[in-house]
Each structure stands twice: as structure tokens, then as C-alpha cells.
Amino acid sequence: MARPIIVDGAERVACPKCNHGFALSEGISRQAIDRYADEFERGLAEQRRKLEAELAAEAKRRAEREFETRMKAMQESAAGQEAALAKFRADELTLRRQMRALEEAKKNQDLDYQRKLDEERKRIEAHAREASSAEIGRREAQHKAQIESAQREVADLKRKLEQGSQQTQGEGLEITLEALLRHAFPMDEIVPVPKGMNGADLLQRVRSPSGQVCGAIIWEAKQTKAWQPLWLQKLKDDQQAAGAELAVIVTAAMPKEAREPFVREADVWITRFDAARPLAQVLRNTLLEIHKLRQANHGRSEKMELVYNYICSAQFAQRLKAAIDGFEAMRQELETEKAAFARIWKRRESQLTRMTGSLLGVVGDLQGIGQESLAQLDTIAALPMPAEPDLVLAP
């Protein structure tokens, strides 16, 4: 197959026979040159077309590869996102399952605990059946002893707790009672009882408005669930030791037969906390009245003698006569005023009679003029004339 070549026309060549040199364009005719030039152009155009086709095909292949690469990347990204979303959904589903499982576990906790107890009991029973009777007896005795010891410890602890709670509640009630009495009776002296008195809590020294001590009330606060009759004698002993006139127990548990808010037993007042203030007011007033009676009866015979001497003295007679003279002067002034007022009333009555007569005369004249057209004046014409008053003047 002939293969065209491109040679410059000025290229010098030599004749193979005579070795004469000449330019290539001189040895080739113009037709051959044009023919080869046309063939060259056609070949060049064909190569250009092939090259352009190859370039277009290569560009297309590159575009397809780039598109495929992008599509693959997008697919891989979408697949990754779908995988992440699926993993998130799976995690959320797992978390929700775990939450439901926790809720179910929480709900079934007591049931599981009871089942475990039953299983443990069955295991212990099975183990006990396998052991010998002597070992069982020994263990039962040991277990019973431990239970009894634990029960005693629990009972002791419960008793100590109750004692501590009652003591704390009693101290709280005592503080509240002291604050109540101080606020209600600021003039009184509210003090804790001296040491050595196991039952009583407070001592109230009642004072009069002048500041004198009129008596004392001893108070005891009990915050317990049951009433104890022994409290009465203990408080009476404390009352005697403190020299108080009255004794009161403020308790949360009243005696069984008590229906009122406060009662009196064995010379001791027993009251609920809500009735403590009115009871204290009544007892305090009682001590104040007793103190007044004591003060009044003090030196009674000497006072009677002084009163008798005063009545028999000239000073008393002079003062009594001055009072009688004053009453007589007042009586005379009253009689004089009555006579003056009687004259004034008589004069005004006469004036009223004259005015009424004149008015009735005018009404009669108007009725005569108006005939029946002034019927409303009939009411005035029918008014009675005032009667002459009968006045009795004082001499």
C-alpha cells in the first residue's frame, strides 16, 4: 500500500545515472505536483476529520466517565446517607426498645423480686430436705435465735425511737405553750420550773395591773397517745413544791370519759391545747379576784372603825348638808325654769290661735269667690282650732 509523504519542493535530489543534482520541483511536473498536493490535502482533511472524530469520541468518553463518576459518587453518598439514616433509625428503635424494656423491668421489679424470693425459698427448702434432720434442727434453732435477737433489737430500737419522738414532741408542745402564754399574758412571769421537778414544765406567776403577784399556775405539757392517771399525783407534788395555787395538764390524749375540751380531776385541770388559752384566762381572772378579796379583807375591823368614826364626825355632817343644799338650789332653779317656760308656751299658743283664725278666714273668702273650683281648700277649712291649754303654774 502506497504511503504518501510530504517533501519540500526545493529539496535537491540527484539523478541516479549521471549524478546531476537538481531541485525536486524541477524534476516533477506541475500536474504531478498538483495531483500529489490534492491528495495530500484530501489526506490531511481526512486525517483532520478522523482526528476530530477521535477527539469528539474521546471527549464523549470522558464526559461519560465523568458523569458515571459523579453518578457513582452521588449514589455512594446517597447510600451512605441511607445507611446513616438506617443506622439512626436502628439506634432509635434499639433505644426505644431499651426504654420499654426498662419500663417493663421497673414494673416487674416487685414481681421479679418476689420470684427470686420464691426461688431462693425453694432452693433453701430443697437444700434443707437434703440435709440431715439434726442439721436442720440446729439451723432452725440458730435461725430462731437470730430472729428473736433481731426482734428484740428492733423492739428496743422502736422503743427508743418512740421515746425520742415523744420527748421531741413534748418539748415542741412545751415551747408552743410557753409562747402562747407569753403572748396572751405579757404582764405575767412565765418561767421554766426549777430543776428537780420531773413532771411540771412551766410556772406562770400572775401579776395584777399594779405589778403585784396574785398567785401562780403550774403547767405540764404531754404529747402522748394515751392518758396516764399517774400524771395527776406527780403534778400535785410539783404544785406543792412550787407553791402554786393551780395546776394544769395540757395533753393531746384526754381521759376516756372526758367529752369537754377541759375537765378537772383531783384538783388538777386537764385541757386540750386549743382550750389552754381560755382556761388560762379563766384561772388567771380567778386568782386576780381572790387577790382583790384578800386585799379588801385585810384590816377589815380597823376599816370598819374608821368608817364609823367618819360618819359620826362633823366633817361628814357638813359635807352631807352641803350636798342637800345643792339639791335644794337645783330644785328651786328647776321650778323657776318651769314657770318661765309656761309663760312662753302660753304666749306662743295665743299667737298660734290668732294665726290659725286669720288663715281660716282667708280660706273662707277664697272658697266664696271660687265656689266649687277650690275643693282642695276644704281640707284646710276642716282643720280644728287649737284648744286653749290648761297650764298649771308652780307657786
In terms of phi and psi (left: phi > 0; alpha: psi -120 to 50; beta: otherwise), the region of 64 is alpha
Distance CA 171, CA 164 (A): 10
**Residue 273 is assigned to a structural domain of this protein:** yes
Distances (CA, A) of 183 to 267, 271, 287: 26, 19, 19
**Residue 249 is assigned to a structural domain of this protein:** yes
**Residue 279 is assigned to a structural domain of this protein:** yes
pTM reported for the whole predicted model: 0.37
Output the tens digit of pLDDT for each of the chain's 395 residues: 455 566 666 677 677 778 777 676 666 555 666 666 777 788 888 888 888 888 888 888 888 888 888 888 888 887 778 888 788 788 888 888 888 888 877 777 777 777 777 787 787 777 767 766 666 666 777 767 777 776 776 666 666 555 544 444 556 678 888 888 889 899 999 888 765 556 578 899 999 888 888 999 999 888 888 888 888 888 888 888 888 899 999 988 888 888 888 888 888 999 988 888 999 999 999 999 988 888 777 666 666 777 767 677 777 667 777 777 777 788 788 888 888 888 888 888 888 788 777 777 776 766 666 655 555 555 555 555 555 544 444 44
**Residue 217 is assigned to a structural domain of this protein:** yes
**Residue 230 is assigned to a structural domain of this protein:** yes
Our count of domains for the chain comes to 1
Residue 224, domain CATH: 3.40.1350
**Residue 19 is assigned to a structural domain of this protein:** no
Residue recorded with cell 476530530: 52
**Residue 261 is assigned to a structural domain of this protein:** yes
**Residue 115 is assigned to a structural domain of this protein:** no
The candidate with the shortest Cα–Cα distance to 378, out of 355, 353, 360, is 360
Domain span at 206: 175-300
Residue recorded with cell 395540757: 250
| Cell digits of residue 194 | 426549777
CA angle (40 as vertex; 38, 41 as ends), nearest 5: 65
**Residue 39 is which amino acid?**
E
| Cell digits of residue 191 | 418561767
- Residue 262 DSSP code: E
Handedness of CA 224, 227, 228, 231 (dihedral sign): positive
